[in-house]
Chains A and B, each alone.
Chain A
């Protein structure tokens, strides 16, 4: 007997799914459609819920459903945003549930929930104000409803944990009881609401447990890749391995008769798909499918030719200067001691653990997509343009992501493929899942870059001038050329910007300082990768800073401090990390320290790494200490988790690169793209020297100091600077 899939549908419980994510009350009114085709009967149990406002729905059983408009990909935004709303709502945290809104709902309500995209570490820092106001407004309406019912002045009431009390009469009621009446009240003017001071927070700012952990421990969490729908078909794709090449032909006669295969189809000019009754059968047929590619001229490109191309940018006359204070080249030429160095950082891939996928269902009057996306509205727009259905006949449901890291933002390549395939099966949901190999070979890679740096120091060991030139690929040139003003793509100098505008300011000032960028593009697609260009620029600036300090015979920490008097926040984290790490104190024999500071995503980061290097070149990172000033923090434990994660994500670039041979990516799975594992993970310690006068990001900022701090420690240990990655290029391995 064949086990039917539906009989095994998650014990999770349809009810739980219903209540916790999709239709918790308000959702019903908004016309949610549920991934599992859950019938109306199950939905009835929560139908009596009241939508107080767009952020808060209260159920009769006192459950407070907090709506979330940003994507959860592990970074904890869902819990953090709920904490902010709950803080102002004064509800019982134990009764909080969350639900993700859909792109169609946001559109239908004139984007009431604001920007849904989740990138640039903006999930909390750019929505904390309006979500808190939403929570406060809901509280005011709930309390007003009680005041009206009792006919007492609202000012006489007190509220805590979702219980409203009137001390004068001893009466009390609960949010669940007054929700219905509250929902009918006119909302207060949001702008005039006075929010709590952060020092009075009870829920926000506290290291609360995440709201979404349990289902991740027992197999019950449904990611997009896990979706099952009646009649669903499964697809996988292969895109031309050489970027810019095309699909010439394929011989479907070889695979058409294979078990379960429904279709072998051209998806677009570069891609072929196999559709089958299960994904495994689709994949097996794809592996057996003879495909001829028209690889085109890019098939001649390899890593060496790309390196030469970038090298030309280090000396070419086409660079522009962003910071040009004094006359750095002249000051360096006249300095007592000089140093010049060339650094290079390769491409790398995002490699989220959940491979790229989406499920698309195209009906005559509706187009739907279920997708792990960092930009649900971009996915909706891509669904509309690819399917031909107007926006109001499209719906996009975000499924919590199995990792994002920047891969699932603007590039809706997966949506276009998924829609093209589903067009051949009207009315049938088609789930397209990429293989890991496809994911590695068709990423939007972190740009490759080189940097040439010059510096001079005077007789006293003071910096005389510093001049750096970055040459590398531009993300904007690939993804958003309109963002390049007057041919100058300053985005590639992220973290070295002269002012706070853009949230990534250089931490040093000097009378003779010059920063330049020369654009050298390649045929590889590029995109934002956790931390984006602060990664490469952090390595260039911070590792070179150690080289200059050494030339000046000065301690790397003290030398940096001498250039940071005008940057108190950068200096604040540098000092905090140094202090926590015990900079200057003795270390076990053979262990050396390295330090780095950098700014990105509105936050200030510094790190100290402790490293030893064996005679065989085995690099062991023992301990990393971080200081992060993100202004205000919503969940310190999750902030620490993000910092820990940034260590692992950053350290993988010590192991691995994406290299190019015959125009295509060489590292196509974990056997040749070596990812950092637990054995290499150092101890991580975190200090948060918050200044409370701004809101900075958390998910990305610290990654840009991970690698430079470690490389500086290696330099201290071996006496030799590490100027190119991965470490294997220097005969070193991470252990």
Chain B
């Protein structure tokens, strides 16, 4: 049994202590936006924020989560997909299959929280998540856009309508 504070709500989950946080989130709490990609901290599909830091939840046992730890998943990043990263992602249609994108977005949000104006090098170092569809080109552009390094344009509109470029 573990107590997890996820997206501002407390969940008591009945799992073995060695259960990875990823599987507690997906199978006990039922939030499936956080993905399984490798299980060995290599791909970042399972990225969540733990007290504001991006972590790979597949490799963190629930037993290591302390009372008072705050976990944020993609579902809790914003109420209405309005986080600047989500808006930038929408404005330039970053996702292809989308499977890696929860993790990419959580990594980007954590990067921007630390470094509001990241350089390309900062992005290279912080964004080590794997995308097999190869959306890297747009991820870089979207991180810069979310940082305000480039114009966001009609991201709001793009987020809700079938808006043209």
Q: Interface residues, chain A, CB within 8 Å of chain B?
A: 1-11, 73-76, 93-94, 96, 206-223, 225-226, 228, 234, 259, 278-281, 284, 351-355, 400-405, 433, 435-436, 637-638, 641, 644-649, 669-671, 675-679, 681, 683-684
Contacts and interface: CB of A to CB of B under 8 A. Distances in A.
Given A2-B12, A7-B30, A353-B131, 20 more contacts: A3-B12, A5-B27, A213-B94, A213-B95, A217-B86, A217-B105, A219-B34, A220-B75, A226-B32, A259-B16, A278-B23, A353-B37, A353-B97, A401-B97, A402-B98, A641-B96, A648-B133, A648-B136, A679-B125, A683-B137
B164 A96 contact: no
B6 to A, nearest CB: 10
Given A214-B90, A219-B75, A279-B23, A74 B162 contact: no
Contacts of A684: 137
Nearest to A221: B98
Contacts of A433: 36
A644 B135 contact: yes
B162 A209 contact: yes
A7 B9 CA distance: 13
A75 B90 contact: no
Nearest to B75: A219
Interface size class of B (residues with CB under 8 A): 35 or more
Given A8-B31, A218-B81, A352 B165 contact: no
B97 A354 contact: yes
B14 A649 contact: no
A75 B97 CA distance: 7
A223 B98 CA distance: 10
B158 to A, nearest CB: 5
Given A225-B36, A402-B97, A670-B38, A219 B31 contact: yes
Given A219-B102, A353-B37, A675 B130 contact: yes
Contacts of B134: 644-649, 676, 681
Given A278-B23, A645-B133, A207 B140 contact: no
B33 A220 contact: yes
14 contacts: A96-B162, A206-B165, A208-B163, A213-B93, A216-B95, A219-B74, A220-B75, A222-B32, A280-B27, A284-B16, A354-B35, A403-B97, A644-B138, A645-B133
Contacts of A638: 93
Nearest to B86: A217
A88 B57 CA distance: 47
SS class of chain A's interface: helix, strand, loop or mixed?
loop
A338 B33 CA distance: 58
Contacts of B139: 678
A255 to B, nearest CB: 13
Interface string B19-43: 1100100111111111111111011
Nearest to A83: B162
Contacts of A435: 39
B50 interface: no
Contacts of A8: 29-31
A404 B29 CA distance: 28
A93 B162 CA distance: 7
B128 A641 contact: no
B32 to A, nearest CB: 4
B136 A669 contact: no
B77 interface: yes
A644 B137 contact: yes
B40 A669 contact: yes
A3 B140 contact: no
A641 to B, nearest CB: 6
Nearest to B45: A353
Given A216-B95, A436-B39, A403 B133 contact: yes
A649 B132 contact: yes
4 A-B pairs with the lowest CB-CB distances in the bound complex, closest first: A219-B33, A648-B134, A216-B98, A74-B97
Contacts of B125: 679
Interface in B134-149: 134-140
B132 A353 contact: yes
Contacts of A228: 30, 32
Nearest to A222: B32
A644 B98 CA distance: 15
Given A2-B12, A219-B102, A354-B99, A679 B124 contact: yes
Contacts of A284: 16, 18
Contact of A645 (B28, B78, B96): B96
A223 B162 contact: no
A223 B99 contact: yes
Contacts of A10: 32
